Structure 1
Amino acid sequence: MEDLQRLIERHQYIGKAGTAFIYAILVSMAVNFFWTPGHIYSSGVTGLAQLITTLTGRYAPIQLSTALMLFVLNVPLFVVAWFKIGKRFTFFTFISVALASVMMRVMQPVTLTHDPLICAIFGGAINGLGTGLALRYGISTGGLDIVGIVLRKKTGSKMGTINILFNALIVIAAGFVFGWPYALYSAIGLVVNARVMDMVYTRQQLLQVMIVTGRPKSVIDSVQNHVRRGITIVHDAEGAYHHDEKEILFTVISRYEMYEFREAMEESDPRAFVSITETMRVMGHFYEPKL
């Protein structure tokens, strides 16, 4: 049994490392192929690293590279993640940031277009895809992702929303450095980045589920075998058409768990009435898997 557990963990580590490498390639493409040629700033620490590179290139004798500053600025955040989120999470965060810094140096910039709108949209979409993919598989991309996860645990806010609030300063900086039209293009890129990230990283999107069933025990057992969620039971409900006895079950799941939930319902009571609605916030105890 222990050997099987070790084998599973080894495959998980390999999968996370592979995801970190994919993220590194995507963020490097966003920076080198779109954002830098289009004078567009990224979100979070990557955007701050770009800003430092721009300012040192203009006003300092030595220009500090975006790749170097991306890693340096993340060092204090590694410490926060170590104590507030988890050691394994921090380890893979370090790997993803280090790989991103290396790939930014290895992948030579390619100017596909100078159109700032195209650069903003495509750069934001590619970076959002990479960031969301990394977070989906339990890896942080560093920077505001770490801050966002810590704040989300306390406030329930979505990652994209938190990033938009923090990145207002980046947009203002883009206005001062490149001109206010570029501030608008950077803002468009940030919104695209946030939306794509929220579409890919669905673990924080919560759904309230109401189940009306005549087989409550079977449904509860099946759902709890597939997803780790508590369920509230409302007894003595009655169907208005056949006047048969029903039970109403309430639970909250993440959008990430929808596939497992559907499997559970197909196994236990495929004829049950199920209503699913988005939940803005959950107060009280709600289990979240450790990252």
Structure 2
Amino acid sequence: MKRRIGLWLKDALGIAVGASIFAFGLNYFIIANRLAEGGLTGVALMFYYLFGWPVGQSYLIMNIPLFIIGWRLLGHEFALKTLWGTAVASLAIDLTAQYQSPMPNDILLAALYGGFFLGVGLGVIFLFGGSTGGGDIVARLVNHRWGWPLGRVLLMFDVIVITSIAFIFGKAVAMYTLLAVFVASRVIDFVQEGAYTARAAMIISEKSEEIARRVVSELERGATVFSGRGAYTAEEKNILYCVVSRSELVRLKGVVYDTDPKAFMIINEVHEVLGEGFRTWNS
């Protein structure tokens, strides 16, 4: 019980930190330079630019009916984290409204920095299992009602919002907004997956067992052997599968080539590996 409470507190703190970073980036770079955003945040920004309504309050008010409707679909744990993330983000947006840095001579930098901070903030929130509501809830509701894929719904929502921004505030604002959204999406992936990338190798060789022994002894990595059959020759073959760090890839190639120069090797990039020898599950 204490461990579960500790994990909840850890997640709540992480979500709060991410929401604060998100709010700072939104105010300091996006709002200060009259840029916009996708999703429900973009709608709140339109209300702010047109009517002067506080962004945080507008965002929270728009989320309340969506949250009530989608409570059962979200699941209690995710719903509570979403409620917490939305509330903290809304409060932080209004509290940090005084911290704005207009960059009239370089809107491009404002879009890049804004996208970076938004991506870091949202990435941290997602990393701790939270959400800021908005488009996430809309996508889940539409998926439940009509079965549309979540990614497609989110993309459509962003396209509608950014298209509206283009008509109301001009094409330039919409283009810089697209740039910020793109940068944010890439940073979110980076935060969630980390800078560490591994390599997964599939090796087809007549000497797969010998290669496997050398991988275990020389590289100190595990390996798995699958049974396969060649489509052209119909011969039974062993397929060796192993995961190594990026720095160990050259050594793996050397082991394979030294053992069997005729081996067939396929290498894929792996963004995250959990387990012994790599990242632990609770890291």
**TM-score between both structures, scaled by the size of structure 2:** 0.65
1:6-155 alignment runs, 5 A limit: 6-57=1-52, 64-79=53-68, 81-115=70-104, 116-147=107-138
Q: Sequence identity, in percent?
A: 21
Report the Cα offset of residue 39 of structure 1. 0.8
Contact 2:227 2:238 (8 Å CA) reproduced = no
**Deviations for 1:75-103, whole angstroms, at most 9, x for unmatched residues?**
23324553223210110110111011111
Counterpart-to-counterpart distance in 2, 1:274 and 1:85 = 39
Gap runs ≥5 in structure 1: 1-5, 58-63, 216-230, 238-244, 251-260, 280-291
Shift of 1:36: 1.3
Correspondence for 1:276: 268
Q: State the partner residue of 1:170.
A: 161
TM-score between both structures, scaled by the size of structure 1: 0.64
Match of 1:234, SS state, is strand
8 Å contact kept, 1:44–1:167: yes
What is the CA distance between 1:22 and its match in structure 2? 1.0
Structure 1 pair 108–157 and aligned structure 2 pair: CA distance change class (3 A): closer
Matches for 1:140-289 after TM superposition, within 5 Å:
140-147=131-138, 163-202=154-193, 211-212=202-203, 214=209, 233-234=226-227, 246-248=238-240, 275-276=267-268
> How far does residue 27 in structure 1 lie from its aligned partner after superposition?
1.8
SS of 1:167 mapped into structure 2 = helix
* CA shift digits 1:146-201 (9 cap, x unpaired): 4457789977776xx76444212222222233222212211211211222223223
Paired residues in the alignment total 230
In structure 1, C-alpha distance between the alignment counterparts of 2:102 and 2:177, rounded to whole Å: 16
Question: Structure 1 residues 34 and 133, CA, compared in 2 at 3 Å: closer, same or farther?
Answer: same
Distance, in Å, in 1 between the alignment partners of 2:266 and 2:167 is 52
| Residue of structure 1 equivalent to 2:220 | none
- Is the 1:45–1:143 contact (alpha carbons within 8 Å) kept by the matching residues of 2? yes
Runs of 4+ with >6 A deviation? 149-157, 270-274
Q: Is the 8 A contact 2:22 2:120 kept in 1?
A: no
Contact kept? 2:166, 2:174, Cα under 8 Å: yes
CA distance in 1, matches of 2:4, 2:76: 15
- Distance, in Å, in 2 between the alignment partners of 1:193 and 1:209 is 28
Name the larger-Rg structure: 2
Retained in 1: the 8 A contact 2:14–2:124? yes
